[in-house]
Structure 1
Amino acid sequence: MIADQRVLVVDDHPVVRRGLRAMLEGEPWVATVTEAATVAEAVREAAVHPVHVVAMDVVLPDGDGIDAAGRILRAAPGTRMLILTMDDDESVVERALRAGAHGFLLKDTDPEVVVDSLRTVAAGGVVLGPRTAGALLTGLRTAPARIPAPFDRLSEREREVVVRLTAGDSNAQIARRLGLSEKTVRNQLSAIFAKLGVTDRVRVALLARDAGLRA
């Protein structure tokens, strides 16, 4: 179980920062919570007081939160990053994930879900809200006339798993939809990641997008 995590909340609205901070300070896995209201403050805070996980807004008074996320991740690759914003535009989602973010949620998400998502990201997981997953990728064909690389390395069943993964399904949902056990889904995901040379489901979705796979 994760513990003693240092969390940085970056948002230009004091109410948002303080509300999220108040909730996080009651979490047993959180050691400290610090705040930043600008890109400059966020980058400086992360450099002076290294943090484990960051909740990062996109629109900040002195610049772009995704750029700030990229700067922090380049300086400290082990930092975990959750983008929290009002904008679910497809290009914003994709840019955030390509910058190295480990999750993307909208600000209208229930605060308890945001805290739970930060815990998931801190523990090494990846979080995409259902609307975010839809914005990132509308779907995949399981059997296109010509399967582009690197998806031609996958079996038909593995491509079916990828279809559900990129739609935002959890392992349990994939298992139910495809009539598999969750253990089988986990094993197939491990095989898929290895064949595609990626480490998580977000990178699979980005590869699928680059390959031009569409429903």
Structure 2
Amino acid sequence: MDAQIRVVLVDDHPVFRIGMAALLDSLDGVSVIAQAESASAARTLFSGRGEEARGDRSTSESRDGVADIVLMDLDLGDGSGIDLTRELVDAHPGLRVLVVSMHEDDEAVLASIRAGARGFLVKSAPPEAVERALRAVSAGEMILSPAVAERAMGYLMGGHRAVHVPFPQLTPREREVLDLVAHGLDNTAIARRLSLSPKTVRNTVATVLAKLSLRDRAAAIVRAREEGLGSDGSA
């Protein structure tokens, strides 16, 4: 019998983790061995300390040489999945990361691949696409969703020019929140728009202000609009 593909899920949305774990555990030769709900929990998990990352086996079983693939979200509440991908790949060279994100913009894809991810899927991908991607990454292949692959081919063929991405130091979610701030939405309205808690939005705005060295929300609006955010049709 083929060896099991041992998977760790890193995502801050419990409903998504539960659904993805159920899907993966239903596949032949695939086992979800652990889950982490934040960047800090994932770091603890792969360092072998503590019980923050919950799974159906002990956290120590997800150390180097045991976990094969990490399904990684980009927005983890307490950190960037891109940064975490880079850390895990550097620390565990045999580990393969498959990004599964709500975001499909070119900057997010390129940043993920540069960080060492072996594939990129959107969360709306059908179950058969998830299975295909998982098995391809396990076999050492690079996998992209069809829409992402088509755009990437367009760039390679010279069909598109590079697009300016404002504030590349921000994560896709931070940029999305900043765009809505620039539209004049308050935290409650942004939370409703993005299906987040007001606290998460408040923390994200604070992170954006810190990263951009801005003193307050008004300054953020001015700076964001200078970079083209907050214009009609960008929300």
TM-score, length-scaled by structure 2 = 0.56
Q: 1:69 — aligned with what?
A: 85
Structure 2 vs 1, CA of residues 138 and 46 (structure 1 numbering), >3 Å: closer, same or farther? Answer: same
CA shift digits 1:163-198 (9 cap, x unpaired): xxxxxxxxxxxxxxxxxxxxxxxxxxxxxxxxxxxx
Q: How many residues align?
A: 142
**Which residue, out of 60, 64, 71, partners 1:55?**
71
Q: Distance in 2 between the 1:2 and 1:91 partners?
A: 36
Structure 2 vs 1, CA of residues 47 and 118 (structure 1 numbering), >3 Å: closer, same or farther? Answer: farther
- Superposition RMSD on alpha carbons, in Å? 1.9
Amino acid of the structure 1 residue aligned with 2:37: A
Report deviation, 1:136.
Answer: 3.4
CA shift digits 1:19-55 (9 cap, x unpaired): 1111111222224431111011112223322211010
1:108 alignment partner, SS class: coil
**Which residue, out of 82, 105, 109, partners 2:121?**
105
Structure 2 vs 1, CA of residues 2 and 129 (structure 1 numbering), >3 Å: closer, same or farther? Answer: farther
TM-score, length-scaled by structure 1 = 0.61
Deviates more, 1:96-105 or 1:35-44: 35-44
Q: Distance in 1 between the 2:40 and 2:153 partners?
A: 32
Q: Distance in 1 between the 2:114 and 2:15 partners?
A: 29
Q: Distance in 1 between the 2:43 and 2:106 partners?
A: 25
Q: Percent identity?
A: 38
Amino acid of the structure 1 residue aligned with 2:43: V
Q: Are the equivalent residues in 2 in contact too, given 1:3–1:28 (CA < 8 A)?
A: no
CA shift digits 1:46-97 (9 cap, x unpaired): 3322211010000111010011111110100110110010111111111100
Unaligned runs of 5+ in 1: 143-215
1:54 alignment partner, SS class: strand
Q: Which runs of structure 2 are paired with 1:1-215 in the superposition (5 Å)?
A: 2-48=2-48, 49-50=62-63, 51-141=67-157
The one of the two structures with greater contact order (alpha-carbon pairs below 8 A, sep at least 6) is 1
CA shift digits 1:128-168 (9 cap, x unpaired): 111112343524459xxxxxxxxxxxxxxxxxxxxxxxxxx
Deviates more, 1:109-118 or 1:51-60: 109-118
Structure 2 vs 1, CA of residues 135 and 7 (structure 1 numbering), >3 Å: closer, same or farther? Answer: same
